[in-house]
Amino acid sequence: MGGFSAPWAKDANGAKVATHYEVRSDGLAQIIEHRGANVAYPVVADPYFGFDLIQSARWVSHAEGWTLEVAPTGWARWNAGSFLVGVYGWDELYSKYRYRGLDTNLAGMRDQYICHQQVVAVRAPRKATWNLDEWRPSVGYFQTVAQQCNPGGARWFD
């Protein structure tokens, strides 16, 4: 048994593109309504099958500020290296923790999370938690990866 998350599609600028599912005789189809719309190509859409990626998370205080220690599920670890699984994991984390303090430096923390899914999960697959620091500078995804998911330099608790 399983399920599907709500369909989504985004254009090259990150703008939402209208989409929906249709049940057909041969299965489920995702329809992307891009024709006639003001859309920057390519359009990305990738239905998610609904497996949890976040086992738990907890806030820890350090001298620099707060860190959200995220424990990924086995499914997240099994999909190490996947950018899209990182996006889904961040969306799940935000959905579960946005009312539990996850409201500062969201762009930077999102980049850190996706970097952990793509880099740390491959480099250190047994690392118990992926630590997202709200006090780190938001430098964009590529700079976050270039700095090994720790913009501003590594700390002893990374």
| pLDDT, tens only, 97-155 | 988 888 899 999 999 999 999 999 999 999 999 999 999 999 999 999 999 999 998 76
- Give pLDDT, residue 18: 92
User: What Å distances lie between residue 106 and 47, 50, 53, 102, 132, CA to CA?
Assistant: 23, 23, 18, 7, 10
- Which of residues 157 and 11 earns the better pLDDT score? 11
Same domain for 122 and 79: yes
State the residue range of the domain holding 105: 54-146
Nearest to 81 by CA among 114, 125, 119, 123: 119
Same domain for 101 and 40: no
- Give pLDDT, residue 44: 79
C-alpha count within 13 angstroms, C-beta hemisphere, residue 37: 16
Number of domains in the chain: 2
Same domain for 72 and 2: no
Q: Is residue 100 part of a domain?
A: yes
Q: Is residue 6 part of a domain?
A: yes
| Tokens read off for 116 | 């952990």
Same domain for 115 and 88: yes
Element (H, E) at 60: strand 54-61
Q: 119: Cβ–Cβ under 8 A, 6 or more apart, which residues? A: 145, 148, 149
Mean confidence (pLDDT) of the chain = 88
Same domain for 77 and 38: no
Model pLDDT for residues 60-73, shown as the tens digit of each residue: 999 999 999 999 99
Asked if residue 157 has pLDDT above 90, the reply is no
Q: Is residue 99 part of a domain?
A: yes
Separation CA 139–CA 111 (nearest Å): 9
Same domain for 94 and 40: no
Q: Is residue 152 part of a domain?
A: no
Per-residue pLDDT band at 1 (split at 50, 70, 90): very low
Nearest to 93 by CA among 120, 73, 74, 79: 73
Asked if residue 7 has pLDDT above 60, the reply is yes
Collapsed DSSP state (helix, strand, coil) of residue 98:
coil
Same domain for 88 and 11: no
Same domain for 64 and 138: yes
Separation CA 83–CA 62 (nearest Å): 29
Prediction pTM value: 0.69
